[in-house]
Amino acid sequence: MTLSEFDIIERYFAPLGNFRGPAVRLGPGDDCAVIMPPSNEQLCVSSDTFIEGTHFPVDAPAAMTARRTLAAALSDLAAMGSKPLAVTGALTLASVSPEWLEEFANALGNCISVWQSPLVGGNISRGEALSITWTVMGSLPQEQFISRSGATEPSDIFVSGWPGRAGLALQRRLAGQQCSKKIAQHYEAPEPRLELGQHLRGLASAMIDVSDGLLADLNHILVASDVGAEIDLSSFNFDQALVAEAGDEVLARRLTLTAGDDYELCFVAPPEHRTTIADLSKQLDLPLTKIGQTKAAKGLTFCHPPEGMLMEPLLLQSGYQHF
């Protein structure tokens, strides 16, 4: 069966345009989509490309590819404290499989609805490798965006969720080994922390989503904010499930610090917000773990590492580059 670009859009993607949300005035199918952002709000925008074999495994299930890549893209909105308005998707296909397309589009339809992120446009091309570029747009009240550069000292450093679990799941997957559902779900079905991001407006002074690894991404905050940090590695001990499944505390911590496949949020907040953040953690039923403090002295230092863990190689390795 030969499906043209127009056939594919018509059959699999046009129906997704029916999910609109309050801001969409004109959906897919014209030269542009038209959106009415909330009055007097600012607009956040980010584009991300995901290539099979580089950013997601070759032969990953279509549904997982849809969900993981869109979650990763929306995670950038979460990291600014922004609420999604709309997304566009540019899909390059190396081959045309109706089964793959159907599974991909179904999963995507579910994601855009759950994450309230209408698909307003995009295109389909044929190329040598499967890839997807998402552009995500969101809004937020004026000057309330949370950049990487606002951290001061002394402030608390937090991370959401269960960093390291997705990394362990990926490691097992690549090795062809089994992994418990509890751990695997963080890789297979990551959740962009959109609600958390919006709640942190006015609380967090700096924020980033953890895509390249916790140390590497925290380092972006420290450099942009011109501060240093001390990380207390014992703070991660709350996640005994990760240690149990990794079978080794050193491996668990290495994944926590460098894996970055969870798309959790790392943020800095002044100490006076500690109680509010603890309450928010309960309200969202999501761990918000204080993992350290900003310092005037530049660079990263550590306390309470697990026995036998060397930090130097981690620091060197922490700037994992997809390129």
- Residues in touch with a second copy (CB under 8 A): 4-6, 8, 25-26, 30-37, 39-40, 42-49, 51, 54-55, 76-77, 79-80, 82, 86, 88-90, 92, 120-129, 131, 133, 135-138, 142-143, 145, 147-149, 207-209, 224, 321-323
User: Which C-beta is closer to a second copy: that of 135 or that of 237?
Assistant: 135
Q: How far is the CB of 297 from a second copy (least distance, A)?
A: 24
In the bound state with a second copy, the residue whose beta carbon lies nearer, of 117 and 236, is 117
At residue 206's C-alpha, the angle toward residues 202 and 211, to 5°, is 125
Q: Residue 2 CB, nearest distance to a second copy (Å)?
A: 10
Instruction: Report in angstroms how near the CB of residue 198 gets to a second copy at its nearest.
Output: 14
Shortest Å distance, C-beta 106 to a second copy? 22
Closest distance between a second copy and the C-beta of residue 115, in Å? 16
Token pair, residue 156, equals 């608390």
Smaller CB distance to a second copy: residue 37 or 61? 37
Neighbours of 191 (CB within 10 A): 22
| Long-range Cβ pairs for the range 251-255 (8 Å, 24+) | 251/168, 252/164, 252/168, 253/164, 253/305, 253/306, 253/309, 254/309, 254/314, 255/164, 255/165, 255/167, 255/168, 255/171
Distance in Å, CB of 323 to a second copy, minimum:
4
Closer to a second copy at the Cβ: 87 or 257? 87
β 156-160/228-232 pair status = unpaired
Is the Cβ of residue 41 or residue 232 nearer to a second copy in the bound state? 41
Q: Which residues of 285-309 are buried (b: 16+ CB within 10 A; e: fewer)?
A: ebebbbbbbbbeeeebebeebbeeb
Of 287, 33, 321, 31, whose CA–CA distance to 159 is shortest?
287
Given the complex with a second copy, which of 35 and 300 has the nearer CB atom?
A: 35
Helix (H) or strand (E) holding 125: strand 119-126
> What is the bridge-based pairing of β-strands 119-126 and 206-209?
unpaired
In the complex, the smallest distance separating the C-beta of residue 300 from a second copy, rounded to whole angstroms, is: 18
Residue 205 token pair = 């002074």
Q: What are phi and psi for residue 139, nearest 5 degrees? A: -130, 165
Between residues 126 and 274, which has the closer beta carbon with respect to a second copy?
126
Centre a 10 Å sphere on the Cβ of residue 26 and count the other Cβ atoms it contains: 15
